[in-house]
Structure 1
Amino acid sequence: MKEYKVVSWKMSLTGNSKRLEDTLNEYAKQGWRLVHVYENTASVIFERDKNR
């Protein structure tokens, strides 16, 4: 079984790429896998096995 997490992304004037990279790496360490990025709503969808 899978579980999902939706993270809202807040854009700023500087450092967006680095902040996004740090966020993706932090969730990856927790076992989350990036599934989709919604550009219009600035949301990132992650999934992982629930019984890991």
Structure 2
Amino acid sequence: FKSECFYLYSFRTSEEVKDAVSKYIRFYNHQRFQRKLNNLSPYEYRNQAV
């Protein structure tokens, strides 16, 4: 997902919405690298402390 604008999509079913949100949450936490987190994803950054 490159955009957070779900309102631009035309979903046909609630299952499509749930799937899109689930994929976005996974992207946001596992693949979105942040410079302020030493170029790690939030998931990787949190696991460093463990």
Q: Normalising TM by the smaller chain, what interval? A: 0.3 to 0.5
Which has the larger Rg?
2
TM-score by length of 2: 0.41
TM-score by length of 1: 0.40
Q: Which has the higher contact order (CA 8 A, sep 6+)?
A: 1
* Structure with greater proportional strand content: 1
